Amino acid sequence: MTDPTGLKAELLAVALEAAHRAGTFLRDGRPDDLGVAATKSSAVDVVTEMDIASEKLITDFLAERRSADGVLGEEGASSEGTSGVQWVVDPIDGTVNYLYGRPDWSVSIAARKDGETLVGVVHAPMRGETYRAVLGEGAYVNDVPARVRPAPSLDQALVGTGFGYVAARRAQQAEVARHLIPRVRDIRRAGSAAIDLCDVAVGRLDAYYERGLNPWDFAAGDLVAREAGALTGGRPGEPLSSELSIAAPPALFETLQGLLEDLGAWHD
Q: What is the pLDDT of residue 90?
A: 97
User: What pLDDT, in 10s, does the model give residues 60-103?
Assistant: 999 999 999 999 998 777 888 999 999 999 999 999 999 888 99
Helix (H) or strand (E) holding 119: strand 116-124
Q: Do 55 and 21 form a contact (C-beta atoms < 8 A)?
A: no
User: What pLDDT, in 10s, does the model give residues 94-144?
Assistant: 999 998 889 999 999 999 999 899 999 999 999 999 999 999 999 999 999
Residue that wins the pLDDT comparison between 35 and 149 = 149
Give CA–CA dist 107/94, Å, rounded.
Answer: 9
153 pLDDT more than 70: yes
Q: What is the pLDDT of residue 47?
A: 74
Q: What is the pLDDT of residue 31?
A: 82
Query: pTM for this one?
Result: 0.95
In terms of CATH, what superfamily is 7-145?
Answer: Fructose-1,6-Bisphosphatase, subunit A, domain 1 (3.30.540.10)
Per DSSP, the three-state class of 160 is strand
Domain boundaries, the chain: 7-145, 154-263
Binding-site residue positions: 74, 90, 92-93, 217
* CATH 3.40.190.80 matches 154-263: yes
201 pLDDT more than 60: yes
∠ Cα 161 116 93 (to 5°): 35
46 pLDDT more than 90: no
The upper half-sphere exposure of residue 64, i.e. CA atoms within 13 Å in the direction of its Cβ, equals 10
Q: What is the pLDDT of residue 200?
A: 99
Q: How far is CA 9 from CA 13, 95, 108, 236, 254, in A?
A: 6, 29, 17, 33, 33
- How many other CB atoms are found less than 10 A from the CB of residue 142? 10
32 pLDDT more than 90: no
Binding-site residue positions for Mg(2+): 74, 90, 92-93, 217
Give CA–CA dist 162/210, Å, rounded.
Answer: 6
45 pLDDT more than 70: no
Give CA–CA dist 226/229, Å, rounded.
Answer: 5
- How many other CB atoms are found less than 10 A from the CB of residue 83? 12
